[in-house]
Structure 1
Amino acid sequence: MQLSKSILLSSSRVHLFPLCMVSLVLSGCAAIPSSGPTGAQIRSEIKADTSHLGISLLEVKSALDLPIAAEPSAVFSSNYTPTPSTDLLGAGDVLDIVIYESGITLFGRTSSATVEGNTDTSAKAERLPPSRVGDDGAINIPFIGEVNVAGRTTAEVERLLRQALRRKSQNPQVLVSIREGLTNSVIIGGDVARPGRLVLPTNRETLSDVIALAGGNRGEIKDMLVRVQRDGENGEFRLSDILSHPERDVRVFPADRISIVRMPRSFSVLGAAGRAEQVPFPTASVSLAEAIALSGGSNPNAGDPRAIFVFRFVRGADGKETPVVYHFNMMQSSSYLLAQRFFMTDKDVLYVGNAVANQPTKLVQIVSQLFLPLLSLQNATNF
């Protein structure tokens, strides 16, 4: 008799416990985990603007709604006066000077000059040690003294030295060449094969020319950022943009300091997508259609394909950034075409809205997980 009462009491508890659990679960529906707000919640919050961030919501329904790719503004001042061209000398340059004499010589006979394959024993060539232009712009030549060469071309220095030697030597001829043209050089560093000082051969080189002369970049082109420091101004250029748009391949001037740094771009995927993660750009440009595919698309059990959002800060003409949210309804076939013309930018946030039916589905799953053991226990007690 006692055993039968005990079994009856257990059975009543088993029947009573599910009722209690249902009450608790129903009262705690708001606490059910969620992957984020629904599309309707996002739109209503943006329209209410409770954050006071000045967020704009743009419904992308036609090609006219697609953002226009902003042309990069001029980085450096248009009135910038570059340093003199490469044929002008300056402080730090190293010169090679050769003086040819005939007859009575001033420097002594050191070698014979060869003209058209015949040796002329009456003509002597004297190669002076390398002459570095000092900070005062002068070099020192034996039997002449200090000669100011800064701001002059090599041809002008040749005439100047020839005139200074005319009364001291018989028919002197002078050749001047630049061994190290520091005045007409740039400093390049970072992810290039040969960082260091680079002398500009023609002073008409562009960024891509200088990178090639330095041995090329060592990383992937899509990840490379080119920084240029010029006369107190700084400019940044994407190497992929420079190579794909020749008009953006700016000219390099002497004294520029160039750095090639690896700075990959990425976008973040949140919400009810196939997977939430940070996705690096696989190529130089990534469309929204490709971004959705890379993130696994909308989760069929939790996501709402009608609520695809791209959160972005847009820089205006005044340089200020304003938050903009672009909305795509991927249940419309036209959105798949528009998504191919919408291109992601660095640090964009791709959000897939939570489906409205997601909460009841999760509730059913939770109830099933809680009650299945209890139902099994109840069936066991009935035997």
Structure 2
Amino acid sequence: MSLLHKLILPFASVILITGCTLPGSNLSLEEKNVVNANEQQLTQVEQINVYALSHSFVAGFRSHYAMEKAQPNDALDSEMALYEYRVGPGDVLNITIWDHPELTIPAGSYRSAESSGNWVHSDGKIFYPYIGFVQVADQTVVEIREKLTVLLSKYIENPQVDVNIAAFRSQKSYVTGEIKNPGQQPITNIPLTLLDAINNAGGLSADADWRHVTLTRKGDAENISLYQLMQKGDLTQNRLMQQGDIIHVPRNDSQKVFVLGDVKNPEMLKIDRSGMTLTEALSSVGGINELSADATGVFVVRSSARDAKNGPYLQTVRDKNRAANAAEQSPSVVANIYQLDISEASALVIGTEFKLEPYDIVYVTSAPIERYNRLIRQIMPTISAFNVLSEGALRIHNWN
């Protein structure tokens, strides 16, 4: 039997080594800071925090970041009420002096007011008979009319002057990205808002990310949510457009989450315009594998950098669960993990209230017995080969 022992010893070594490492991936809560929403005192570990999703936690979670709701924009209303267009180089003015046709160039049936008007030169001046060059840039039509009236009164008794803008050419805003008709949007004497500019350009395309629209003004970029503006009626997201403003609507390529682990069809999902909840993500991949998944181990892994807006609320939860220690320093958090236990199917209701963020990773762990089954399935060919070798060795030994 010495030959049999020689075969058994290597095989036993293989079993011992492989027994320490189960095949396949898994998400363990060891060496992570498990923060329980029920205010139990738990051990703090560095860098990664785990939060159990419950009705009370999700309710508090939602209440600590800006709720999407309809609200007015009094500042914008005031801006629009006081808005006056100021003339700039390239604009064309139409100036009329009543009872003095010799000073008014007739447009005629074949000439438009734009082609026959007074063009504002690059230095901001126009030329007008008798009074010569007049500075009009950065002035309203009312101010220009008053200036012309004073200057012409030296040559005409009580002149009746009318000034209007025949062509708006000096000021433009730009709409780029996932818009049906991207391009320039002229700024005129009618106030132009961001929402007006988007609609004038044909609206959003099918692939637009309307939650992360960028408004760039004089080198400073601001994020605008068209979802809150259009869908929820939050008028604080609207802006009055100014010269040189750039509105950029990105593609929704970054609006994706990853569903991995023990689900029926692991895949990457795109967050649509109305958003995506945890329950929606699970249903989109066919749900968890009922025979092998650990229903208590549904996790959402989120980078702490992308979870910054929820930081204040998460900090209060951690403070309640951290052992009182004045000298303790908070570790650097690299990720937050949210755990949902759906062993009771009614807990999926909690998942319908938990919204996913771009680049979230939804991971479903396998049950411990399934992980051991994976190991058994891997070592079965080795056991079969060992049986064949041992039977052959015994036959040779007996034959000798």
TM-score scaled by structure 1? 0.74
Structure 2: state its 5+ residue gaps.
36-41, 69-74, 316-331, 396-400
Deviation at 1:48, TM superposition (A): 5.6
SS in 2 for 1:242: helix
Deviation at 1:301, TM superposition (A): 5.2
Question: 2: CA distance between counterparts of 1:226 and 1:260?
Answer: 5
Tell me: CA distance 1:166–1:23, structure 2 relative to 1, closer, same or farther (3 Å): closer
Deviation at 1:251, TM superposition (A): 2.1
Counterpart position of 2:343: 331
Tell me: CA distance 1:109–1:152, structure 2 relative to 1, closer, same or farther (3 Å): closer
Question: 2: CA distance between counterparts of 1:231 and 1:342?
Answer: 37
Match 1:298 to one of 270, 288, 303: 288
Match 2:96 to one of 85, 95, 99: 99
Give yes or no for contact 2:34–2:50 (8 Å, CA) kept in 1: no
Paired letter, 1:263: N
Matched, 1:254 2:242: yes
Question: 2: CA distance between counterparts of 1:213 and 1:64?
Answer: 43
Matched, 1:245 2:258: no
How do residues 147-158 of structure 1 correspond to structure 2 at under 5 angstroms?
147-158=134-145
What is the percent sequence identity of the aligned residues? 20
Structure 1: state its 5+ residue gaps.
1-8, 114-124
Matched, 1:21 2:11: yes
Paired letter, 1:297: G
Counterpart position of 1:59: 52
SS in 1 for 2:212: strand
Question: 2: CA distance between counterparts of 1:108 and 1:308?
Answer: 78
Which of the two has higher C-alpha Rg? 1
Counterpart position of 1:89: 86
Deviation at 1:307, TM superposition (A): 0.8
Question: 1:278-330: CA deviations, max 9, x gaps?
Answer: 32214531111111122343334543111111122321488999542211111
Match 1:315 to one of 308, 312, 318: 308
Paired letter, 1:215: G
Aligned-pair Cα RMSD in Å:
4.3
SS in 1 for 2:250: strand
Matched, 1:132 2:127: no
Question: 1: CA distance between counterparts of 2:97 and 2:52?
Answer: 80
Tell me: CA distance 1:355–1:166, structure 2 relative to 1, closer, same or farther (3 Å): same
SS in 2 for 1:359: helix
Give yes or no for contact 2:118–2:126 (8 Å, CA) kept in 1: no
Question: 1:131-188: CA deviations, max 9, x gaps?
Answer: 12544x4322232112232343323423433443355468865442223435654222
Residue-pair matches, total: 354
Matched, 1:71 2:66: yes
Question: 2: CA distance between counterparts of 1:257 and 1:24?
Answer: 64
Counterpart position of 2:201: 214
Match 2:213 to one of 226, 232, 247: 226
Question: 2: CA distance between counterparts of 1:219 and 1:159?
Answer: 50
Give yes or no for contact 2:259–2:267 (8 Å, CA) kept in 1: yes
Deviation at 1:72, TM superposition (A): 7.5
Give yes or no for contact 2:215–2:221 (8 Å, CA) kept in 1: yes
How do residues 189-204 of structure 1 correspond to structure 2 at under 5 angstroms?
189-201=176-188, 204=191
Paired letter, 1:31: T
Task: Identify the range of structure 1 (14-23 vs 142-151) with the bigger mean alpha-carbon deviation.
Answer: 14-23
Question: 2: CA distance between counterparts of 1:108 and 1:269?
Answer: 72
Give yes or no for contact 1:100–1:174 (8 Å, CA) kept in 2: yes
TM-score scaled by structure 2? 0.71
Task: Identify the range of structure 1 (141-150 vs 85-94) with the bigger mean alpha-carbon deviation.
Answer: 85-94
Question: 2: CA distance between counterparts of 1:178 and 1:209?
Answer: 21
Counterpart position of 1:272: 262
Paired letter, 2:366: N
Tell me: CA distance 1:198–1:223, structure 2 relative to 1, closer, same or farther (3 Å): closer
